[in-house]
């Protein structure tokens, strides 16, 4: 009977040991943070799976704001439509759409008999002008000495001034055609004209083909200088009185919602758009604009004052009962380090890759909210240069609650 009792107790002990794994075995699970109250630990694989982002408190203006939308634009002087001064046939095209060009760079070459005719006319007028000038001076001298007739003097003067005006007009037309008047005087006549870029920028449109005829009113190419790009917003009638020069606008671009830009208002329209009952405001973008293209849709909010408060994205804040919390990166406790070493010693590299991070459940007081951000005041001071979880905070909260429940059992 005594032997039977001993055997029964021994069997019960074995069964209890099987159903209650040691802390060492629990340490090989996904979260190994026994001894760290209010802390959740994630390994690199888990952080990557939820796209965990870390950052710090940001100073943002969450007071009175005006919702705005619009598009990326350039000033009128930074965009050019290229046309021919005189129509012609396209001989060659020297650029592609998207090419960066500089002012004065060759874009295309046109040819036409009319170009030759203008040069011939200029050469003829230039040749006669010298003779008419000399004749005018001679008749003037004779008239002043009472030797020549006034009629001859007036005729010489009229012919000279007419030729001179025609010479100046033809010379101006040649300059517009980028043809050197001096080369024509020297006897060099060309049948083609060069189309040059009037500004620095990028080629946005190429509307011509080799061999086609383009008229003077036809738009051959469009060039835009993106270095002068700015944000063009619409402000509706009810909010116009709140807008002033120098105010800040935070905005995002439709195809890059994760990148936020800041711009400063430098011009405010003085006329309402009759269709939308809104005015245009123009703001200078403070960040690098190399990735922005005119015409992109943008939306954001304009700050009407300069009261900045510490804030975090809404996804960084969780609520538990009546209180609010964030997760702040902290050091991993020694117990967890020991568990990690044990896991590595046993070859368990899949669960803990050596790059785990610990995040402490930290109470905060929330304030105003706007445009995806919440005002934050930590109950206890945060460590210097604290790294805060900016997203997926509810995932960490659920994970923490799960761990606490398992520990209670």
Rounded Cα gap, residues 124 and 163, in angstroms: 10
91, 84 Cβ separation under 8 angstroms: no
Confidence class for position 349, pLDDT limits 50, 70, 90: very low
- Inter-residue long-range contacts of 125-131, CB under 8 Å, 24+ positions, other chains counted: 125/163, 125/166, 125/167, 125/170, 126/167, 126/181, 126/184, 126/185, 128/163, 129/160, 129/163, 129/164, 129/167
Please state the rounded mean pLDDT for residues 353-378.
84
User: Scanning the structure block, which residue is given the tokens 């050596």?
Assistant: 354
Out of 246-250, 312-316, 401-405, which region has the weakest mean confidence (pLDDT)?
Answer: 401-405
Residue % of the chain over a pLDDT of 70: 83
Residues in the chain: 409
The per-residue pLDDT for 108 is 95
Whether 6 shows a pLDDT value over 70: the answer reads no
Mean pLDDT of 35-58: 85
- For the ranges 168-182, 306-320, 327-341, the lowest mean pLDDT is seen at 327-341
* Between 281 and 407, residue with greater pLDDT: 281
Token pair for 66 = 């005006």
Looking only at the bridges linking them, the beta strands covering 79-82 and 221-224 are antiparallel
Residue 304 has pLDDT above 90, yes or no: no
Per the listing, tokens 């009810």 go with: 238
Burial tier of 16 (Cβ tally within 10 Å: 0-12, 13-18, 19+):
exposed
pLDDT in tens, 163-213: 999 999 999 999 999 999 998 988 899 999 999 999 999 998 999 999 999
Per-residue pLDDT at 229 exceeds 70: yes
Residues 179 and 282: their CA atoms lie apart, in Å, by 40
pLDDT greater than 70 at residue 1: no
- Average pLDDT, integer, range 262-274: 89
Ranking 107-116, 132-141, 329-338 by mean pLDDT, the lowest is 329-338
Edge-to-edge strand ranges of the sheet holding 100-101: 79-82, 221-224, 201-206, 100-101
Give pLDDT, residue 334.
Answer: 58
Q: What is the mean pLDDT of the chain?
A: 82
For residue 322, pLDDT over 60 is answered with yes
Cα 350-14-346 angle, rounded to 5 deg: 20
Let me know: does 313 contact 373? Beta carbons within 8 Å: yes
- Mean pLDDT confidence for 336-353: 49
Please report the pLDDT score of residue 174 as a whole number.
92
Q: Is the pLDDT of residue 371 over 50?
A: yes
- pLDDT bin (cut points 50, 70, 90) of residue 19 is very low
pLDDT confidence bin for 289, thresholds 50/70/90: confident
Using 50, 70 and 90 to split pLDDT, how confident is the model at 400?
A: confident
pLDDT-above-90 percentage for the chain: 37
Task: List Cβ neighbours of 352 (8 Å cut-off, separation of 6 or more).
Answer: 32, 43, 340, 343, 344
pTM (predicted TM-score)? 0.56
């Amino acid at each position: 009977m005594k032997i039977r009792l001993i055997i029964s107790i021994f069997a019960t002990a074995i069964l209890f040991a099987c159903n209650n794994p040691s802390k060492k075995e629990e340490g090989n699970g996904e979260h190994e943070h026994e001894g760290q109250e209010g802390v959740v630990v994630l390994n690199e694989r888990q952080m990557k799976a939820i796209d965990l982002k870390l950052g710090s408190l940001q100073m943002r203006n969450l007071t009175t704001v005006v919702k705005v939308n619009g598009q990326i634009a350039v000033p009128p002087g930074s965009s050019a439509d290229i046309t021919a001064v005189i129509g012609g046939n396209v001989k060659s095209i020297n650029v592609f759409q998207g090419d960066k060009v500089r002012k004065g760079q060759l874009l295309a070459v046109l040819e036409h008999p009319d170009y030759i005719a203008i040069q011939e006319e200029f050469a003829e007028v230039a040749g006669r002008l010298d003779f008419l000038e000399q004749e005018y001076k001679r008749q003037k001298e004779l008239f002043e000495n009472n030797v020549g007739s006034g009629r001859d003097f007036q005729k010489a003067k009229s012919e000279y001034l007419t030729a001179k005006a025609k010479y100046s007009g033809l010379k101006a037309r040649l300059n517009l055609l980028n043809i050197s008047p001096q080369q024509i005087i020297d006897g060099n006549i060309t049948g083609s004209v060069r189309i040059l870029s009037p500004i620095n920028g990028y080629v946005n449109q190429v509307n011509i083909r080799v061999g086609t005829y383009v008229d003077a009113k036809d738009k051959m190419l469009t060039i835009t200088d993106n270095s002068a790009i700015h944000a063009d917003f619409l402000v509706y009638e009810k909010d116009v009185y709140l807008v002033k020069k120098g105010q800040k606008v935070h905005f995002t671009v439709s195809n890059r919602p994760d990148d936020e830009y800041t711009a400063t208002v430098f011009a405010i329209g003085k006329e309402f758009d009759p269709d939308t009952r809104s005015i245009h405001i123009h703001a200078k973008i403070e960040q690098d604009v190399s990735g922005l293209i005119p015409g992109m849709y943008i939306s954001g909010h304009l700050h009407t004052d300069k009261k900045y408060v510490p804030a975090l994205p809404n996804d960084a804040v969780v609520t538990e009962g009546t209180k609010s919390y964030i997760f702040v990166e902290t050091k991993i406790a020694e117990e967890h380090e020991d568990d990690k070493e044990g896991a590595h010693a046993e070859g368990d590299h899949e669960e803990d890759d050596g790059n785990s991070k610990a995040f402490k459940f930290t109470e905060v007081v929330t304030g105003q909210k706007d445009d995806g951000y919440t005002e934050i005041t930590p109950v206890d001071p945060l460590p210097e240069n604290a790294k805060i979880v900016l997203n997926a905070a509810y995932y960490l909260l659920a994970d923490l609650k799960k761990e606490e429940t398992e520990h209670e059992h």
